[in-house]
Amino acid sequence: MEQHIYFHIPKAGGSTLNSIITREYSKHNVYKIHSDFTFDDFLKLKKTHRENIKLFGGIIKFGVHKFLGLETKYFCIIRDPVSRIVSLYNYIQLDKAEGLYKKIPYEHRKDIKSFVENLDKNHTTLQGHNGQSRLLSGKEILDESWDKNLESPKIADNAMGDVAIENIINHFAFIGTLEYFEESLVLMKKYLNWKKPLFYIRRNVTQKRENNISEEVLNLIKEKNSEDMKLYQYVNDKLHQQINYHWDYIRNEKRKLKFNSDLYKFYRKYIRNIIKS
């Protein structure tokens, strides 16, 4: 049986994609990592139970496929590193009640330049320092508790991008980008053999945004995320090849996606108005 692992990259459209995935897979065949269901809990399941899981997902660490079936493949969405870091900064600035804000010293978050300069000084902000390559290479995870369950490979910082690309080639059914979200979504449906109609609304979108980014800061972000820049270039080039090859299919599926999403938004608003009245 083919199993899929949803690799949730923070600040890369994961919440929106998660809502789509929830509709596609039956709840009893899904195991998602979060505060109530940890990887330790997953390991306590019988092997036969683990092998019957159709979807395993969350903010995870590369290597979890070793604990699932033989036909397990990952899928995920990544994001342009510059856009992702700006989004991460904005999110943390608005996250005062959720904990991230308090974990970062004021001098490391007082403005976006200070934030970028100190990305590697704090575990909370390390996800902004080649964070996508760290996760996809298996070098590190945001939650250190994973380290006792999955051995972290010894990877030099300047090799994370190459290792992540190798993992994608060998273990991923599909990987797309947030910048081409709809194209990625319909290709995901094709490659993962999803059956249900696609529709979505954007979720967890940061409202307040820092838009006045200097050239100096933009260059600093690229410097701090050189491995992610390499990774993104590879994924973006591969995605465009797939888009060109499957263009007729994509164009047709995007029409359906727009119709379904517009219909969903209409009825969602209609039902909300009825509840309020």
The structure tokens listed for 21 are: 């995935």
What is the tens place of the pLDDT at every residue in 39-98?
A: 778 888 887 777 778 888 888 878 888 887 767 899 999 999 999 999 999 888 886 546
Measured CA to CA, the distance from residue 78 to residue 61 in angstroms comes to 15
Q: What is the pLDDT of residue 97?
A: 46
Q: What is the pTM for the complete model shown? A: 0.88
DSSP 16-62: HHHHHHHHHS-GGGEEE-SSSS-HHHHHTS-HHHHHT-SEEEES--T
**Which is more confidently placed, 264 or 217?**
217
What is the tens place of the pLDDT at every residue in 18-37?
A: 888 888 887 778 888 766 67
Mean pLDDT of the chain: 85
What is the tens place of the pLDDT at every residue in 200-249?
A: 887 656 655 556 789 999 999 999 999 999 999 999 999 999 999 999 99
User: What does residue 151 show for φ and ψ, rounded to 5 degrees?
Assistant: -65, 130
Measured CA to CA, the distance from residue 21 to residue 225 in angstroms comes to 29
User: What is the torsion angle, in degrees rounded to the nearest 10, for the CA atoms of residue 245, residue 248, residue 252 and residue 254?
Assistant: 40
Q: Where are the domains of the chain?
A: 4-79+131-206+232-276
Mean per-residue pLDDT, 159-183: 96
Confidence band, pLDDT 50/70/90 cuts, at residue 187: very high
User: What does residue 77 show for φ and ψ, rounded to 5 degrees?
Assistant: -120, 135
Confidence band, pLDDT 50/70/90 cuts, at residue 171: very high
Segment among 136-150, 157-171, 207-221 with least mean pLDDT: 136-150
**Which is more confidently placed, 197 or 41?**
197
